[in-house]
Structure 1
Amino acid sequence: MSIQELLTPILSFLKCETPQAWLDEAVKKENLDIILIDHLICELKAAQSAMFLIRKYAVDKESANALLAWLEPFETFIYKREGDWRELPAKNKLSKTVIPKSNAKYGQDLIDKMVVLIKEELHHFYQVLEIMDEYGVEYKSITPCRYAKGMLRNVKTFEPDAMVDKLIVGAYIEARSCERFAKLAPHVDKRLGDFYISLLRSEARHYQDYLTLAQEISGQDIAERVQFFGEVEAKLILSDDQDFKFHSGVPA
């Protein structure tokens, strides 16, 4: 499938395209470090978000603990700066079969989709570390940008609506990431551009997985909530932003 064929549904889902001002800032050599480090953290956050959904809504305590153990080496590397990043691929696997709770009516589907997504995100996490090593970019702690928090503050507080909203937010974050990979790819060197296109190809369906789950779990038409979060997301992307990051708005 061509890049344009992958992008067409993503662009029709998003309510706006990335502003040129963000792209102009993103391709500056002095911003390569922040783009790569923030991208690295985004991959881990995506895995954590998917894992949170499984642990909260779909599995028993034993399975939840196995999921936590799976993610631990990656979190330890980021939050405690411990471990050798080259050993992470060997740790990207579940230690046991994850079993849905007996009362989780959508448990197996949620587990199946999210486990695949987590594996992919952690693989991409490692690939970003490889790129950082090649480009001589050292990992350092950075502050989170306003983007995800700006979306999540609109999530409802009662279930299952809260879960449905979180899945819709996940869909927008995944779609925006793909759109930005496509924007960046022609303006960076070939190694990085090829990497962004490979990510676009592998992640293009993630937002649809989130939306499918949201619709299944809601049992009602979610179009109104999808529209609502699309407008929230577009406002964050198009408004002035003091903090330049991978998902930030217009550089102020």
Structure 2
Amino acid sequence: MHTNPGIISLISLHMELSQDTKNILGLQLPTDPRWVNLAEISLEAILTDHAYCEQKAATSCISLIQRYSDKAQLVKSLAPIVTEEWGHFRLVLQELEKRGLKLGRQRKDEYVNALLLFQAKGGSPDEFFLDKLLTMAMIEARSCERFKRLSEGLNDAYMSKFYRRFMESEAGHYTLFIELAETYLQKEQVRKRWAEWLAHEAVIMQEMELRGDRIH
């Protein structure tokens, strides 16, 4: 029987994951440690990309509220997240300004685009709704993991604390989207699909180029 070498690599890397990443986030692959060094070199680019990530997180929550305005718990839960994410956007803008840096142009987010391709196509409304929430959960989980790497690996003590705050916030957002999915759908369905998302995201991470000018 032929064994895909990519699968072997995934299994090997999975075994090297820290236990906290497995338990808290469920992510199958850790960020390559070299990414932090690249990000530190490209601070203006990483802050620019971070700012746009926060802006897109806010607008994505607004879109969910608009599309599912009949789901009272979702609206109630996401409304404060919109405010929080927009506040994060402003914090990153302030950091850029303080350092005499400029907000650059928004770049194509290859990671998010790859996730969007995995969303259910032609399925039931419930499946579509579930994948909308799990896409958000996945982005927040990976963002949390990236912010954790920055908080632990940057040489700049101030920036380490800066990203520690974001890490804690994103962890809460990740769990919120999972909880919302389980509010409206069967827990077994949510967990099964989440496992599929985690496996798919691991493949995306393995195939993506390592770049220090991107949060994802």
Query: Comparing both structures, which one devotes a greater share of its residues to helix?
Result: 2
- Report the counterpart of residue 10 of structure 1 in structure 2: 24
What displacement does 1:245 show?
3.9
The Cα RMSD (Å) is 2.2
What is aligned with 1:182? 148
Aligned to 2:103: 139
Q: CA deviation at 1:9?
A: 4.0
After superposition, the Cα gap between the structure-2 partners of 1:7 and 1:201, relative to the gap in structure 1 and judged at 3 Å, is farther
Q: Would you say the 8 A contact 1:145–1:247 is kept in 2? A: no
C-alpha contact (below 8 Å) 2:38/2:213 kept by paired residues: no
Query: Equivalent residue for 1:239?
Result: 207
Deviation at 1:215, TM superposition (A): 1.8
Contact 2:119 2:132 in 1 (8 A): yes
| Whole-Å separation in 2 of the counterparts to 1:216 and 1:180 | 28
| Partner of residue 203 from structure 1, selected from 150, 164, 170 | 170
Residue 38 (structure 2) aligned to one of 25, 34, 55 = 25
Structure 2: runs of 5+ lacking an equivalent:
1-17
Alignment of structure 1 residues 112-131 onto 2, 5 Å: 112-131=76-95
**Is there any run of 5+ residues in structure 1 with no aligned partner, and where?**
59-103
Letter in 1 for 2:24: I
Deviations 1:70-95, CA, capped at 9 Å, x for gaps:
xxxxxxxxxxxxxxxxxxxxxxxxxx
Is 2:197 the partner of 1:229?
yes
TM-score by length of 2: 0.82
Count of residues in correspondence between the two structures:
195
TM superposition shift of 1:8: 6.8
- Report 1:21-170 matches (<5 A): 21-28=34-41, 31-58=42-69, 104=70, 107-157=71-121, 158-170=124-136
Are the aligned partners of 2:150 and 2:160 in contact in 1 as well (CA < 8 Å)? yes
2:46 and 2:215 in contact (8 A); partners too:
no
Q: Normalising to structure 1: TM-score of the pair?
A: 0.71
- Please state how far the C-alpha of 1:243 moved relative to its aligned partner: 5.8
Residues 40 and 128, structure 1, Cα contact 8 Å, conserved in 2: yes
Which piece of structure 1 moves more, 213-222 or 165-174?
213-222
Shift of 1:140: 1.9
